[in-house]
Chains A and B, each alone.
Chain A
Amino acid sequence: MKLSAVRPIAMVLSRELMITALLLLGVSFVVFIILFVSPGDPFSVLLEGQLSTAEVREGVREAMGVSRSWYMQYLSWLAGMLTGNFGTSIRMGLPVLPEVVRVGLNTLLLTLGSLIITLLIAVPIALYSAVRGTDKISWSLTMFSYVISALPVFWLGYIVIYFFTHKLGLFPLAFGFSSGGQKYRWLYQLLPIFVLGVGNGTISEVIRFLRQEMGRVIAEDYIRTARAKGASVWRHSFKEGLLIPVTEIVASKIPFILGGAVIVEQVFNWPGMGRMAWQAAQDRDYPVIMGIAILAAILVRMGSLFQSVVYVIVNPRASKE
């Protein structure tokens, strides 16, 4: 890559990283306030199953050495985080960062995998209908994709499990990771990835957006020129008609896919971030919730960062806008 191409990327990156830092601060603050004002506290999970008198509850707070005021709690969490210490889970007693990273990788595998599935289905349909216009095949493919997108992901998950394990007897242990020691366990892991890829509700949107963008680009003058002089239409339309729209839509859909992952992880017993967040929310285990919120925010930001970088690479002028 030429130096002139790197500079705009660096500019975009530094600007975006600053925004990201501010955003993370905002996210952590808002999440913390919501946790603080919501009823219950993280210590009652330690007292579950016994008579929890006011004195006992106070004793726990003291034993754990946690401050009473919300700002002291928040500031001490923030100070810890800035030095890379995300605190310790109240329920599990384990340091938050390695735990969240461990399950975060599982979630990343699930979400990235499902993104690929989504694109594998959506892109061909979109391209086909952009190039051919509305004919019988493209119409039925599009309708099909709309129907699929409307299926709720939890329902799809149960149906798939019912069908594959109950009816067909395939995937004897199709429960995400709990298939330890099995020979084709990677195969079992494809099932939840596939379910999330199909059921995250974004296929139809990806198709619509891509078809529209591709259609617009194909109608542009420079494509007509290219076609007239016998050059490859595909090569000329690829960047603007496919690459940019795909990264754009992928980046904007990451939050939704993460949301869907919570449900898929629950149904398929997939040890990911969503399941941990679900448990932690019930326990009011605020160090864990904060850790996950920050990590999720980082994932989402990385998506849009990736999109900006691609955009600038394709069109270096954009960095000055």
Chain B
Amino acid sequence: MKRTLVILLLFVAAALMALPAAEAVRKKDSRPDGGSLNYGEYGRPATLDPITSNEMISLRLTELIFNGLVGINEKQEIVPELAERWDRSADSRTYTFFLRKDVMWHPKEGEEPKPFTAEDVIFTYKIMMHPRTITPLKVRYEFISAVEKVDDYTVKFTLKRPILNALAKFSFKVIPKHGPSNPLYLTREDPFVRSPIGTGPYLLKNITAEREIVLAANENYFKGRPHVDRFVAKPFADQNIMTQALMFNAIDMIVLVNPRDIPEIQGDKRFILQPYNALSYSFFGYNIRSPLLADKRVRKAFTHAVNRQEMLDSFFNGQGTIISGPFAPGSWAYNLDVQPVPFDPEKAKTLLQEAGFTRGADGFMQKDGKRLALTLKVPIEKESEAVKRVVLAFKNYLKNVGADIKVEFKEWQAWKEDVFFEHDFDIIFAIWVFDDSADISSLFHSGEIGAWKNNFGGYSNPEVDGLINESKLTLDHEKRRTINRKLHAILAEENPYTFLWTLTNYGAYHKKVRRVAIHPYKFFSYADDWFIEEKDQK
């Protein structure tokens, strides 16, 4: 009896020892491994860690290098990732995560890879919330009141109050305790932000002198080795050149195609254009503080005056959807029953007359001797060609109904200061980008009026405030949906913005890359399943 036990123990020990040393874990989908994928990025990332970085280029890279406790699959469901399962307490105030025991960190140079444990999760949370860490994540995790380690592979989070969709927030990327050189907080000067260590499907191999970021397949990835051997992010300073580089096979993929280049790529059989829904929309926002714009009939008249479909068709090749309210159409909160305000210049003129305006001698509307003259402030962004056309078209549409729009282009930071701090504008053109929580409370709640707050136009409506408060308190997804539908209807009627459109984003890639699924925001979430046929690997 004793002897069998010893043998059994030996066997167990051998099995345990074999675990970390195990050869690359193949995925069981019989797709070929190998090949390399070069993709173009418009610009260079400043940092490569998931905490200090706040730009899309870094976000996409961290998606390849790191994992969260939970992930989100292609059907937008929450799935296990670093945590294999979890428990939620009856009052929804504690979440306990049971971690996978087979996860190893990417090896640091010259060191053995270390195992991933509960310590790393707690470390990540603490470093994220430290006052000296500058990160966009902090505000998103203020709902957590405490985190504790139950054992090496169990972590318990306590929430300040139950919130809706709390689980999805635990998709934050976990960094290793042995990563950053400063154990308390993370700054951009820490070497870790340029040589990150993660658990993800790809590990950072090197950054070349040309600032290309080379990632190599993580042979020990816990979901199985990713199929493609290498991902290389190549920085471009010019979008036109990036498209040319794709055409000449210098790169295999562009994550976001310049709308102007869509026809060129579409006409080429070598490439696949893949649309993905962006949770963002463009709009003209009004300063309600301006006496001319305080009347909602004036704002509605402006919305009637612009032909949004025509602008979308001629400036963006029709690649998008006209919207009617404050949510992106890809979002669950969007109310499809609300129709976009139709293009109707006559209606616009009637509304302006109802609001007390009469046409003056110069052809522009006026009221009490005051001309309907307004300033439109537009930020100059990297690629502003189409934007320029949109604002000039807007100016012309409004001229037709008797409003005199003066367009002012402003450099990005100067524009932000004018709009969010000085509130010195009548109309702005801008784009909001959302995460999947579809939270518009900061945009239209009257409590969000003030310096550097998001209700820049000073829109205030007790009914809207009430609905927003109610939606924040509810834990019932259906109820929140109903509230958001009401909000949508009210705001579509009130026109604090002229809601324009959501543009369809397109990724483009060489068709040698197979089974490409794209996450609308993080892009590379499913890249470990992509593959390249052996004959195309060369």
Quick check: is A82 within 8 A (CB to CB) of the other chain? Answer: no
Shortest Cβ gap from B56 to chain A (Å): 9
Within 8 A of B (CB), among A148-203: 158, 161, 165-166, 169, 172-173, 175, 177-178, 180
Residues of A contacting B211 in the complex (Cβ-Cβ under 8 angstroms): 271
A49 CB contact (under 8 Å) in B46, B136, B193: B136
**What interface size band does chain B fall in?**
35 or more
Known contacts A40-B416, A44-B413, A63-B134: A267-B55 contact under CB 8 Å: no
Contact A269 B236, beta carbon cutoff 8 Å: yes
Quick check: is A57 within 8 A (CB to CB) of the other chain? Answer: yes
* Nearest opposing residue in chain B for A278, CB measure: B237
Quick check: is B12 within 8 A (CB to CB) of the other chain? Answer: no
Quick check: is A92 within 8 A (CB to CB) of the other chain? Answer: yes
Within 8 A of B (CB), among A66-122: 88, 90-94
B189 CB contact (under 8 Å) in A46, A93, A158, A177: A93
Residues of B contacting A91 in the complex (Cβ-Cβ under 8 angstroms): 46, 188
Contact B134 A267, beta carbon cutoff 8 Å: no
A165 CB contact (under 8 Å) in B209, B212, B244, B453: B244
Known contacts A46-B54, A93-B193, A178-B234: A52-B414 contact under CB 8 Å: no
Quick check: is B537 within 8 A (CB to CB) of the other chain? Answer: no
Contact B187 A93, beta carbon cutoff 8 Å: yes
B134 CB contact (under 8 Å) in A60, A180, A275: A60
Separation of A49 and B234 alpha carbons in the complex (Å): 23
Contact A38 B414, beta carbon cutoff 8 Å: yes
* Nearest opposing residue in chain B for A265, CB measure: B237
Contact B190 A173, beta carbon cutoff 8 Å: no
Dominant SS at the B interface?
A: loop
Known contacts A92-B188, A165-B248, A266-B238: A180-B208 contact under CB 8 Å: yes
Residues of A contacting B52 in the complex (Cβ-Cβ under 8 angstroms): 46, 93
Contact A47 B136, beta carbon cutoff 8 Å: yes
Contact B244 A46, beta carbon cutoff 8 Å: no
* Nearest opposing residue in chain A for B412, CB measure: A282
Contact B210 A40, beta carbon cutoff 8 Å: no
Separation of A45 and B212 alpha carbons in the complex (Å): 22
Contact A39 B188, beta carbon cutoff 8 Å: no
Quick check: is B241 within 8 A (CB to CB) of the other chain? Answer: yes
Residues of A contacting B210 in the complex (Cβ-Cβ under 8 angstroms): 177-178, 180, 271
Contact A54 B452, beta carbon cutoff 8 Å: yes
Quick check: is B150 within 8 A (CB to CB) of the other chain? Answer: no
The A-B contact count (CB < 8 A) is 119
* Nearest opposing residue in chain A for B211, CB measure: A271
Contact B139 A44, beta carbon cutoff 8 Å: no
Contact A39 B414, beta carbon cutoff 8 Å: yes
Residues of B contacting A133 in the complex (Cβ-Cβ under 8 angstroms): none
Shortest Cβ gap from B201 to chain A (Å): 24
Contact B54 A275, beta carbon cutoff 8 Å: no
Separation of A88 and B416 alpha carbons in the complex (Å): 25
Q: Among the interface residues A46, A60, A90, A284, which one has the most CB atoms of the partner chain B within 10 A? A: A46
* Nearest opposing residue in chain A for B382, CB measure: A282
Quick check: is A135 within 8 A (CB to CB) of the other chain? Answer: no
Residues of A contacting B234 in the complex (Cβ-Cβ under 8 angstroms): 178
Contact A92 B55, beta carbon cutoff 8 Å: no
Shortest Cβ gap from B230 to chain A (Å): 13
Quick check: is B396 within 8 A (CB to CB) of the other chain? Answer: no
A-contact 0/1 string along B490-520, CB 8 Å cutoff: 0000000000000000000000000000000
Quick check: is B113 within 8 A (CB to CB) of the other chain? Answer: no
Shortest Cβ gap from A271 to chain B (Å): 6
Quick check: is B460 within 8 A (CB to CB) of the other chain? Answer: no
Shortest Cβ gap from B154 to chain A (Å): 31
Quick check: is B451 within 8 A (CB to CB) of the other chain? Answer: yes
* Nearest opposing residue in chain A for B234, CB measure: A178
Contact B414 A178, beta carbon cutoff 8 Å: no
Within 8 A of A (CB), among B189-203: 189-190, 193-194
Contact B189 A88, beta carbon cutoff 8 Å: yes
Separation of A165 and B246 alpha carbons in the complex (Å): 12
Quick check: is A50 within 8 A (CB to CB) of the other chain? Answer: yes
Shortest Cβ gap from B334 to chain A (Å): 22
Contact B413 A267, beta carbon cutoff 8 Å: no
Known contacts A57-B452, A178-B210, A178-B212: A269-B414 contact under CB 8 Å: no
Separation of A247 and B244 alpha carbons in the complex (Å): 39
A166 CB contact (under 8 Å) in B47, B133, B244: B244
Separation of A279 and B382 alpha carbons in the complex (Å): 10
Separation of A60 and B452 alpha carbons in the complex (Å): 14
Residues of B contacting A282 in the complex (Cβ-Cβ under 8 angstroms): 411-413
* Nearest opposing residue in chain A for B433, CB measure: A49
Contact A50 B54, beta carbon cutoff 8 Å: yes
* Nearest opposing residue in chain A for B248, CB measure: A172
Separation of A54 and B450 alpha carbons in the complex (Å): 9
Residues of A contacting B189 in the complex (Cβ-Cβ under 8 angstroms): 88, 93-94
Separation of A48 and B381 alpha carbons in the complex (Å): 14
Within 8 A of A (CB), among B217-255: 234-238, 240-241, 244-245, 248-250
Q: Among the interface residues B238, B240, B241, B442, which one has the most CB atoms of the partner chain A within 10 A? A: B241
Contact B212 A39, beta carbon cutoff 8 Å: no
Quick check: is B161 within 8 A (CB to CB) of the other chain? Answer: no
Contact B417 A40, beta carbon cutoff 8 Å: yes
Contact A269 B417, beta carbon cutoff 8 Å: no
Shortest Cβ gap from A156 to chain B (Å): 15
Contact B413 A175, beta carbon cutoff 8 Å: no
Quick check: is B131 within 8 A (CB to CB) of the other chain? Answer: yes
Known contacts A38-B414, A63-B132, A172-B248: A53-B452 contact under CB 8 Å: yes
B-contact 0/1 string along A209-231, CB 8 Å cutoff: 00000000000000000000000
Quick check: is B158 within 8 A (CB to CB) of the other chain? Answer: no
Shortest Cβ gap from A278 to chain B (Å): 9
Residues of A contacting B188 in the complex (Cβ-Cβ under 8 angstroms): 46, 90-93
Separation of A50 and B55 alpha carbons in the complex (Å): 11
A267 CB contact (under 8 Å) in B241, B418, B453: B241
Quick check: is A259 within 8 A (CB to CB) of the other chain? Answer: no
Q: Among the interface residues B194, B238, B453, which one has the most CB atoms of the partner chain A within 10 A? A: B238
Given A40-B413, A175-B241, A175-B250, list of 16 further CB < 8 A pairs? Answer: A38-B413, A39-B413, A39-B417, A40-B414, A40-B416, A46-B134, A47-B54, A48-B55, A49-B55, A50-B136, A93-B193, A165-B248, A178-B210, A267-B241, A269-B237, A284-B413
Q: What would be 24 A-B contacts, judged by CB atoms less than 8 Å apart?
A: A48-B54, A48-B55, A49-B54, A49-B136, A50-B136, A50-B139, A51-B442, A53-B453, A60-B134, A63-B133, A88-B189, A90-B188, A92-B47, A93-B46, A94-B194, A172-B250, A175-B236, A175-B250, A178-B212, A180-B208, A180-B210, A267-B237, A275-B237, A282-B413
The 8 A-B pairs with the shortest beta carbon distances in the complex, nearest first, are: A40-B413, A93-B188, A50-B136, A39-B414, A39-B417, A93-B189, A63-B132, A177-B210
